[in-house]
Amino acid sequence: MRPYRVVQWATGTIGTRSLRGVIEHPSLELAGVHVHAPGKDGLDAGELCGLGASTGVRATRDVERVVGLGADCVLYMPLTCDLDEVCRLLESGANIVTTRGEFHHPGSMHRVVRERVEAACERGGTSIHSTGSSPGFITEAVPLVLTSIARRVERVAVDEYADLSRRPSPELLFGVMGFGVAPAEFAEERLSRARTSFGPSLRLVADALSLPLDSLEASGELATARHRVRIAAGELAPGTVAAQRLTVTGTRAGRPLMRFRATWYCTTDLEPDWDLHDTGWHVTVDGDAPLDVSVRLPVPLERMAEISPSYTANRAVNAVPFVCAAEPGIRTTVELPQITATLS
Protein backbone atom coordinates (compact mmCIF):
# COMPACT_ATOMS: atom_id res chain seq x y z
CA MET A 1 0.00 0.00 0.00
CA ARG A 2 1.11 3.55 -0.66
CA PRO A 3 1.99 5.60 2.42
CA TYR A 4 -0.68 7.84 3.92
CA ARG A 5 -0.03 11.48 3.04
CA VAL A 6 -0.20 13.57 6.21
CA VAL A 7 -0.27 17.29 6.99
CA GLN A 8 0.97 18.55 10.35
CA TRP A 9 -1.26 21.43 11.49
CA ALA A 10 0.49 23.64 14.09
CA THR A 11 4.02 23.18 15.37
CA GLY A 12 3.92 23.93 19.07
CA THR A 13 5.44 21.59 21.63
CA ILE A 14 3.25 18.61 20.72
CA GLY A 15 2.97 19.45 17.02
CA THR A 16 6.72 19.63 16.61
CA ARG A 17 7.10 16.18 18.11
CA SER A 18 4.37 14.67 15.92
CA LEU A 19 5.87 16.35 12.83
CA ARG A 20 9.10 14.50 13.49
CA GLY A 21 7.11 11.32 14.06
CA VAL A 22 5.47 11.62 10.63
CA ILE A 23 8.78 12.27 8.87
CA GLU A 24 10.37 9.19 10.47
CA HIS A 25 7.31 6.90 10.13
CA PRO A 26 7.75 4.09 7.57
CA SER A 27 4.11 4.16 6.46
CA LEU A 28 3.48 7.92 6.40
CA GLU A 29 4.58 10.63 3.99
CA LEU A 30 4.66 14.29 5.00
CA ALA A 31 2.50 16.23 2.55
CA GLY A 32 2.52 19.65 4.19
CA VAL A 33 2.86 21.75 7.33
CA HIS A 34 0.50 24.50 8.47
CA VAL A 35 1.88 27.11 10.88
CA HIS A 36 0.49 30.20 12.56
CA ALA A 37 3.60 32.25 13.35
CA PRO A 38 4.84 34.47 10.48
CA GLY A 39 8.43 33.58 11.38
CA LYS A 40 7.80 29.91 10.58
CA ASP A 41 6.21 30.51 7.19
CA GLY A 42 8.40 29.03 4.46
CA LEU A 43 10.71 27.07 6.77
CA ASP A 44 11.54 23.48 5.90
CA ALA A 45 9.77 20.87 8.04
CA GLY A 46 13.10 19.34 9.03
CA GLU A 47 14.25 22.66 10.43
CA LEU A 48 10.99 23.15 12.33
CA CYS A 49 11.30 19.85 14.19
CA GLY A 50 15.06 19.90 14.71
CA LEU A 51 15.98 17.10 12.31
CA GLY A 52 18.59 19.20 10.57
CA ALA A 53 18.15 17.48 7.20
CA SER A 54 15.92 19.08 4.57
CA THR A 55 12.62 17.37 3.73
CA GLY A 56 11.62 19.52 0.77
CA VAL A 57 8.30 20.31 2.50
CA ARG A 58 7.96 23.95 3.52
CA ALA A 59 5.52 25.36 6.05
CA THR A 60 2.66 27.61 5.02
CA ARG A 61 0.06 29.81 6.71
CA ASP A 62 -2.32 29.44 3.74
CA VAL A 63 -5.29 27.23 4.66
CA GLU A 64 -6.43 26.79 1.06
CA ARG A 65 -2.96 25.70 0.03
CA VAL A 66 -3.11 22.97 2.66
CA VAL A 67 -6.59 21.93 1.54
CA GLY A 68 -5.32 21.72 -2.04
CA LEU A 69 -2.66 19.19 -1.10
CA GLY A 70 -5.25 16.40 -1.08
CA ALA A 71 -3.75 14.80 2.03
CA ASP A 72 -5.19 11.63 3.52
CA CYS A 73 -5.00 12.98 7.06
CA VAL A 74 -4.31 16.15 9.03
CA LEU A 75 -2.73 16.03 12.48
CA TYR A 76 -4.67 18.97 13.91
CA MET A 77 -2.92 20.43 16.99
CA PRO A 78 -3.59 24.17 17.42
CA LEU A 79 -3.99 25.89 20.80
CA THR A 80 -7.69 26.47 20.10
CA CYS A 81 -10.15 24.59 17.96
CA ASP A 82 -11.53 26.46 14.94
CA LEU A 83 -14.68 24.66 13.85
CA ASP A 84 -14.64 26.33 10.43
CA GLU A 85 -11.13 24.97 9.82
CA VAL A 86 -12.08 21.50 11.03
CA CYS A 87 -15.14 21.27 8.81
CA ARG A 88 -13.28 22.71 5.80
CA LEU A 89 -10.61 20.03 6.14
CA LEU A 90 -13.12 17.21 6.61
CA GLU A 91 -15.20 18.33 3.65
CA SER A 92 -12.08 18.45 1.46
CA GLY A 93 -11.49 14.71 1.97
CA ALA A 94 -8.86 14.92 4.71
CA ASN A 95 -9.35 12.79 7.81
CA ILE A 96 -8.33 14.39 11.11
CA VAL A 97 -6.49 13.07 14.13
CA THR A 98 -6.36 15.71 16.82
CA THR A 99 -5.01 16.20 20.31
CA ARG A 100 -7.78 18.72 20.85
CA GLY A 101 -10.31 17.34 23.32
CA GLU A 102 -13.57 18.31 21.64
CA PHE A 103 -14.26 14.99 19.91
CA HIS A 104 -13.63 12.24 22.50
CA HIS A 105 -17.32 11.46 23.03
CA PRO A 106 -19.89 12.62 20.46
CA GLY A 107 -22.71 12.39 22.99
CA SER A 108 -20.98 15.04 25.13
CA MET A 109 -20.77 17.54 22.28
CA HIS A 110 -23.26 20.35 21.73
CA ARG A 111 -25.84 18.97 19.33
CA VAL A 112 -25.44 21.74 16.72
CA VAL A 113 -21.64 21.33 16.69
CA ARG A 114 -21.87 17.55 16.49
CA GLU A 115 -24.32 17.64 13.60
CA ARG A 116 -22.17 20.14 11.69
CA VAL A 117 -19.04 18.01 12.09
CA GLU A 118 -20.88 14.82 11.18
CA ALA A 119 -22.28 16.51 8.04
CA ALA A 120 -18.77 17.61 7.05
CA CYS A 121 -17.54 14.04 7.51
CA GLU A 122 -20.35 12.72 5.38
CA ARG A 123 -19.67 15.18 2.57
CA GLY A 124 -15.95 14.45 2.58
CA GLY A 125 -16.14 10.73 3.31
CA THR A 126 -13.85 11.37 6.27
CA SER A 127 -13.51 10.76 9.99
CA ILE A 128 -12.14 12.66 12.99
CA HIS A 129 -10.67 11.28 16.20
CA SER A 130 -9.45 12.94 19.41
CA THR A 131 -6.61 11.23 21.25
CA GLY A 132 -3.45 11.82 23.27
CA SER A 133 -1.97 10.65 26.53
CA SER A 134 -4.44 12.32 28.91
CA PRO A 135 -7.23 12.42 27.98
CA GLY A 136 -7.01 9.47 25.62
CA PHE A 137 -4.53 6.74 26.45
CA ILE A 138 -4.89 6.75 30.24
CA THR A 139 -8.58 7.68 30.42
CA GLU A 140 -9.86 5.44 27.61
CA ALA A 141 -7.44 2.87 26.16
CA VAL A 142 -6.06 1.68 29.50
CA PRO A 143 -9.40 1.42 31.40
CA LEU A 144 -10.98 -0.42 28.48
CA VAL A 145 -8.17 -3.00 28.50
CA LEU A 146 -8.18 -3.40 32.28
CA THR A 147 -11.93 -3.91 32.51
CA SER A 148 -11.85 -6.49 29.70
CA ILE A 149 -11.12 -9.22 32.30
CA ALA A 150 -14.06 -8.25 34.52
CA ARG A 151 -17.71 -9.25 34.60
CA ARG A 152 -18.62 -6.82 37.37
CA VAL A 153 -17.16 -3.34 37.78
CA GLU A 154 -17.98 -1.22 40.81
CA ARG A 155 -15.56 1.63 40.24
CA VAL A 156 -12.73 2.74 37.96
CA ALA A 157 -10.41 5.45 39.26
CA VAL A 158 -7.51 7.12 37.44
CA ASP A 159 -5.06 9.34 39.30
CA GLU A 160 -2.59 11.47 37.38
CA TYR A 161 0.48 13.05 38.98
CA ALA A 162 2.76 15.60 37.34
CA ASP A 163 5.79 17.23 38.94
CA LEU A 164 6.16 20.47 36.99
CA SER A 165 9.07 21.92 38.94
CA ARG A 166 11.54 21.44 36.09
CA ARG A 167 9.17 22.43 33.28
CA PRO A 168 10.69 25.57 31.67
CA SER A 169 7.33 26.88 30.42
CA PRO A 170 6.31 30.08 32.27
CA GLU A 171 3.49 30.84 29.82
CA LEU A 172 1.95 27.41 30.45
CA LEU A 173 2.42 27.25 34.22
CA PHE A 174 1.72 30.86 35.14
CA GLY A 175 -0.44 32.00 32.25
CA VAL A 176 -2.54 28.96 31.35
CA MET A 177 -2.55 26.85 34.51
CA GLY A 178 -2.61 29.65 37.08
CA PHE A 179 0.30 28.75 39.31
CA GLY A 180 1.96 31.52 41.32
CA VAL A 181 -1.15 33.57 42.17
CA ALA A 182 -2.85 34.02 45.52
CA PRO A 183 -5.58 31.37 46.04
CA ALA A 184 -8.25 34.09 46.09
CA GLU A 185 -7.14 35.17 42.60
CA PHE A 186 -7.21 31.66 41.14
CA ALA A 187 -10.02 31.49 38.60
CA GLU A 188 -12.79 29.30 39.98
CA GLU A 189 -13.61 27.86 36.56
CA ARG A 190 -10.15 26.32 36.39
CA LEU A 191 -11.08 23.98 39.24
CA SER A 192 -14.11 22.63 37.39
CA ARG A 193 -12.50 22.32 33.94
CA ALA A 194 -12.00 18.60 34.52
CA ARG A 195 -15.70 18.20 33.69
CA THR A 196 -15.19 19.28 30.08
CA SER A 197 -11.58 18.08 29.72
CA PHE A 198 -11.93 14.56 31.12
CA GLY A 199 -15.66 14.02 31.60
CA PRO A 200 -16.26 12.92 27.98
CA SER A 201 -13.68 10.13 28.38
CA LEU A 202 -15.41 8.86 31.52
CA ARG A 203 -18.75 8.84 29.71
CA LEU A 204 -17.19 7.01 26.77
CA VAL A 205 -15.81 4.19 28.93
CA ALA A 206 -19.00 3.93 30.97
CA ASP A 207 -21.10 3.71 27.79
CA ALA A 208 -18.77 1.01 26.43
CA LEU A 209 -19.29 -1.03 29.61
CA SER A 210 -23.09 -0.64 29.23
CA LEU A 211 -23.10 1.38 32.46
CA PRO A 212 -23.97 4.90 31.25
CA LEU A 213 -23.42 7.67 33.76
CA ASP A 214 -26.27 9.64 35.26
CA SER A 215 -24.17 12.73 36.03
CA LEU A 216 -20.71 14.25 36.23
CA GLU A 217 -19.49 16.19 39.26
CA ALA A 218 -16.34 18.32 39.21
CA SER A 219 -14.35 19.78 42.08
CA GLY A 220 -10.90 21.15 42.81
CA GLU A 221 -8.41 21.87 45.57
CA LEU A 222 -5.39 24.14 45.88
CA ALA A 223 -2.21 24.00 47.96
CA THR A 224 0.27 26.84 48.42
CA ALA A 225 4.03 27.11 48.70
CA ARG A 226 5.23 27.18 52.31
CA HIS A 227 8.40 29.03 51.37
CA ARG A 228 9.72 30.92 48.39
CA VAL A 229 10.76 28.37 45.78
CA ARG A 230 12.61 28.64 42.50
CA ILE A 231 11.37 26.39 39.68
CA ALA A 232 12.44 26.13 36.05
CA ALA A 233 9.60 28.42 34.94
CA GLY A 234 10.32 31.14 37.48
CA GLU A 235 9.63 31.81 41.14
CA LEU A 236 6.74 30.98 43.48
CA ALA A 237 6.23 33.30 46.43
CA PRO A 238 5.14 31.93 49.82
CA GLY A 239 1.36 31.56 50.03
CA THR A 240 0.82 31.37 46.27
CA VAL A 241 -0.68 28.45 44.37
CA ALA A 242 1.95 25.73 44.01
CA ALA A 243 -0.27 22.67 43.49
CA GLN A 244 -3.73 21.97 42.19
CA ARG A 245 -5.92 18.90 42.19
CA LEU A 246 -8.81 18.59 39.75
CA THR A 247 -11.39 15.83 40.12
CA VAL A 248 -14.27 14.72 37.95
CA THR A 249 -16.54 11.92 39.12
CA GLY A 250 -19.15 10.10 37.08
CA THR A 251 -22.05 8.73 39.09
CA ARG A 252 -24.54 5.99 38.34
CA ALA A 253 -27.54 5.09 40.51
CA GLY A 254 -26.30 7.52 43.15
CA ARG A 255 -22.85 5.94 43.47
CA PRO A 256 -19.46 7.00 42.01
CA LEU A 257 -18.57 4.70 39.12
CA MET A 258 -15.82 6.54 37.19
CA ARG A 259 -13.31 9.04 38.57
CA PHE A 260 -10.37 10.97 37.15
CA ARG A 261 -8.18 13.07 39.43
CA ALA A 262 -5.21 15.15 38.29
CA THR A 263 -2.64 16.36 40.81
CA TRP A 264 -0.20 18.84 39.32
CA TYR A 265 2.47 20.36 41.56
CA CYS A 266 5.54 22.59 41.39
CA THR A 267 7.02 21.74 44.80
CA THR A 268 6.50 19.14 47.52
CA ASP A 269 6.80 21.77 50.28
CA LEU A 270 3.08 22.49 50.41
CA GLU A 271 0.49 23.94 52.76
CA PRO A 272 -1.42 21.78 53.51
CA ASP A 273 0.59 18.59 53.07
CA TRP A 274 -0.53 16.47 50.14
CA ASP A 275 0.14 12.82 49.38
CA LEU A 276 2.21 13.15 46.20
CA HIS A 277 3.63 10.59 43.80
CA ASP A 278 6.19 10.73 41.02
CA THR A 279 5.00 11.80 37.59
CA GLY A 280 2.76 9.10 36.13
CA TRP A 281 -0.61 7.44 36.64
CA HIS A 282 -2.32 5.13 39.09
CA VAL A 283 -5.38 3.15 37.94
CA THR A 284 -7.62 1.06 40.18
CA VAL A 285 -10.51 -1.17 39.16
CA ASP A 286 -12.91 -2.40 41.83
CA GLY A 287 -15.15 -5.36 41.02
CA ASP A 288 -14.96 -9.13 40.61
CA ALA A 289 -11.47 -8.82 39.02
CA PRO A 290 -9.88 -5.97 41.03
CA LEU A 291 -6.68 -4.36 39.76
CA ASP A 292 -4.22 -1.80 41.08
CA VAL A 293 -1.86 -0.56 38.37
CA SER A 294 0.84 2.10 38.59
CA VAL A 295 2.38 3.59 35.45
CA ARG A 296 5.45 5.64 36.25
CA LEU A 297 7.26 7.79 33.71
CA PRO A 298 10.92 6.80 34.35
CA VAL A 299 12.34 10.09 33.14
CA PRO A 300 14.59 12.42 35.19
CA LEU A 301 12.82 15.69 35.96
CA GLU A 302 15.53 17.55 34.07
CA ARG A 303 14.53 15.71 30.88
CA MET A 304 10.75 15.59 31.42
CA ALA A 305 10.05 18.66 29.27
CA GLU A 306 12.10 17.08 26.49
CA ILE A 307 10.52 13.60 26.66
CA SER A 308 6.94 14.12 27.81
CA PRO A 309 5.54 15.50 24.49
CA SER A 310 6.15 12.07 22.98
CA TYR A 311 3.44 10.51 25.14
CA THR A 312 0.78 12.71 23.54
CA ALA A 313 2.18 13.16 20.03
CA ASN A 314 3.11 9.54 19.33
CA ARG A 315 -0.34 8.14 19.99
CA ALA A 316 -1.82 10.63 17.53
CA VAL A 317 0.73 9.70 14.86
CA ASN A 318 0.15 5.99 15.43
CA ALA A 319 -3.61 6.48 15.06
CA VAL A 320 -3.41 7.93 11.53
CA PRO A 321 -3.77 4.66 9.54
CA PHE A 322 -6.70 3.52 11.69
CA VAL A 323 -8.58 6.79 11.36
CA CYS A 324 -8.00 6.88 7.60
CA ALA A 325 -9.49 3.38 7.35
CA ALA A 326 -12.51 4.18 9.55
CA GLU A 327 -16.06 4.82 8.41
CA PRO A 328 -16.97 8.51 8.05
CA GLY A 329 -17.91 10.31 11.25
CA ILE A 330 -16.63 11.20 14.71
CA ARG A 331 -14.74 8.05 15.68
CA THR A 332 -13.90 7.22 19.28
CA THR A 333 -11.40 4.93 21.00
CA VAL A 334 -14.20 2.38 21.38
CA GLU A 335 -15.00 2.34 17.66
CA LEU A 336 -11.45 2.15 16.34
CA PRO A 337 -9.30 -0.98 16.52
CA GLN A 338 -6.66 -1.04 19.20
CA ILE A 339 -3.97 1.43 18.15
CA THR A 340 -0.84 -0.51 17.25
CA ALA A 341 2.40 1.29 16.44
CA THR A 342 4.21 0.60 13.16
CA LEU A 343 7.85 0.96 14.10
CA SER A 344 10.83 1.40 11.82
Contact 75, 55 (CB under 8 A): no
Identity of the amino acid at 199: G
The fold for domain 137-305 equals: Dihydrodipicolinate Reductase; domain 2 (3.30.360)
Q: Does domain 4-130+309-330 have CATH number 3.40.50.1980?
A: no
Which segments of the chain belong to CATH 3.30.360? Answer: 137-305
Phi, psi of 175 (to 5 degrees): -80, -50
Report the predicted TM-score, pTM, of the whole model to 2 decimal places.
0.95
Contact 176, 292 (CB under 8 A): no
* CA dist list (Å): 72 to 178, 248, 265, 284, 293: 38, 36, 40, 38, 37
Contact 284, 241 (CB under 8 A): no
pLDDT at 53: 86
pLDDT at 192: 79
> In the chain, which stretches have pLDDT less than 70?
none
Count CA atoms within 13 Å of residue 314 on its CB side: 12
Residue 311 CA to residue 247 CA, distance in Å, equals 22
pLDDT at 176: 87
Contact 191, 183 (CB under 8 A): no
Contact 159, 263 (CB under 8 A): yes
pLDDT at 141: 98
* CA dist list (Å): 23 to 13, 84, 256: 16, 27, 44
Which segments of the chain belong to CATH 3.40.50.720? Answer: 4-130+309-330
pLDDT at 17: 97
